[in-house]
Amino acid sequence: MSERKTSNRGSDAPSQMAPFDVWAEWMRANMGPMTATPGASVPWLMMPGIRTGEDAAELPEGAVRNDPLLSTVEKLWDANPMQSVLPIDWVEITRALQTLWAREMSDPARAIERATDFNARLFGATMKSWQEATNRFWGLGTSQEEEDEGRPDKRFSAPDWEQNPFYETLKESYLLASEYLLDEAEKTDGEDTPEQRRLKFHLKQFVDAMAPVNYLLTNPAALKRTFETGGASLAEGARNLLSDLQEGRMSMTDANAFQPGENLAITPGKVVYRNELIELIQYEPTTEKVHETPVIFIPPWINKYYILDLQPKNSLVKYLVDEGFTVFMISWKNPDASMEDTKFEDYMTNGPLAAAEVVRDITGSEKVNPVGYCVGGTLLAITLSWIAAGEDENPFGPPTFMVALHDFTEVGDTEVFIDEPQIEFMEQQMLERGYLDNRKMANMFNLLRSNDLIWSNVVNNYLLGQKPPAFDLLYWNSDGTRMARDAHSFYLRNTYLENNLIKPGKVEVKGRPIDLGKIEGDIYAVGAERDHIVPWASAWKISRLANGTTRFTLANSGHIAGMINPPSKGKGRYWATENGGDFDTPDAWRENAREHEGSWWEDWSRWLDNRSGEKVDPPEIGSENYPPIEDAPGTYVKEK
């Protein structure tokens, strides 16, 4: 930023924007005024293109085109090849900073007061860092250990962040500025509105991106490795970056370390049925007797099914098979342009309905106990409602919903990506291609945990020049699927955008009105305490929407780790009540739920055991009508 522009801001502005200037100073000192470092050249310190708090409340459509700053940011980032590996929305970040600036300027006296407080805290933190360094030099004790509280920030785990006063001051300056920025977003508008949540989300993205650990010259571990390797780490990092640019995505794990059918999804079984949308896998029994009623998994089609069958040590499929259940799995086809007219109802008829008939034919069982995971749980609820609205025989027994949304009033951070303009944009892309590219979904989910899934890989792959780790969960996370145009548009509009599933009869599928209140009988539902995709309070709502008795269980951890928690790990805890519907609110449920140590898998297995009939001889793999086609995991799961 030039001196002329700085002087035009007035004598008080630098003090009022102290946290921004802290970043500016070390960015300029370490990176120079212009740099190729991702995000560093974004002109976020310039005066905003809007004038008052009123103007900032809601920028009109076309603001990016009309605002010179936003237009410039958009063009610069679109032209930057790094945007293919760093899915950061600098336009929205800049807009959020503009909005916050306008709020600050609407009350200059308060802004000065807050800046004064910030500067005092920054001075205190700086003096403390140097005092601690002096104490260490003279062999005196420090208060560092006693004052460390809460969960440590693993970004700053290198010893230099605590032992070197320069880096410690830099870290404390960054943390204070981050706290100031996010706190200001809260205090200048405390209302919990979609606009406010969007603002805080993009400010958090900015804060995460600006962490000094993400840049070579302010990352002591990266500098140390550069000197130790004679610069070889920088060359390796450059090779890693070039490889990712060619692939059009960031590598999060060693892509050569895993392969479905070799060391993932290896529970023995056969594909016993295939249509244009699914393959159905039947797993081989491991016990002499099995429960009479089989279990069928309906996984989400936005991911590959093998999250439920990663490796033997953490496979939910293997766990159930070893517990004496006959298990079937739907494996969805990865859509291409030829499937653009595939409708949402096709996912129902060619998915759970078709699969259930095959399972009944093979096992001879009257009922099949269905398990809907994430989006698969939403599809399962719609399927059960559709059956209840007609006169068809219901092939399903008591259902299980794993981190599934049915009421989309509160959807967590994903709401930032779902509004009318963004859905229209996705629909336009799908109209051109016939599908939604899997990278769009992957980028969205990665941004929800940007420190863990984006910036940690920037540091490891590019700054340290190391290979991505071999981690089965991250491999699965990177092995995405495309979305069929027609079906995905129907799903997004009727769920995230309009929340029609909670309105009885509002949604029609194959001529029948969908009413979740027609789902009756016993239900098992599980949410995850720290789920950023399906908030547990929303997962609980099936207890009130359905007309049955719902045993609701809350697992600790998040959307994936909370679900994939085998008892053999000896970790975790969960909370449960016999009927979640007895309580008016999720908070009331939580107050009355009983805490248990261990994995919720065991609780669910006991619940299933009482609803799965007598023990019988295992059925044959396949039948006369549906002979085995090939070994599990089949063909569809391997399609890229």
Q: What are the angstrom distances between the C-alpha of 422 and each of 80, 250, 380, 407, 425?
A: 22, 23, 27, 21, 5
Q: DSSP state, 49?
A: S
49-59 burial by CB neighbour count: b if 16+ within 10 A, else e? bbeebeebeeb
What is the rounded distance in angstroms from the CA atom of residue 508 to the CA atom of residue 501?
10
Eight-state DSSP code of residue 177: H
Q: Compute the CA torsion angle 536, 542, 544, 548 (nearest 10 deg).
A: -140
H or E segment to which residue 525 belongs: strand 520-528
Instruction: Specify whether 374 is catalytic.
Output: yes
* Residue of 374, 387, 519, 526 with catalytic role: 374
Burial classification of residue 222, based on how many CB atoms lie within 10 Å of its CB (0-12 exposed, 13-18 middle, 19 or more buried): buried
- In sequence order, what E strands does 236-368 have? 269-274, 278-283, 290-291, 295-298, 327-332
Pairing type for strands 295-298 and 369-373 reads parallel
Minimal CA–CA distance to 375: which of 309, 304, 278, 275?
304
Positive or negative, the CA dihedral 152, 155, 159, 164 is: negative
Instruction: Give Dmax (Cα) for the chain.
Output: 85
Provide the 8-state DSSP code for 349.
I
* Buried-exposed string 362-381: b where 16+ CB fall within 10 A, e elsewhere: bbebebbbbbbbbbbbbbbb
Tokens of 36: 């190729």
Q: Which residues are known to be catalytic?
A: 374
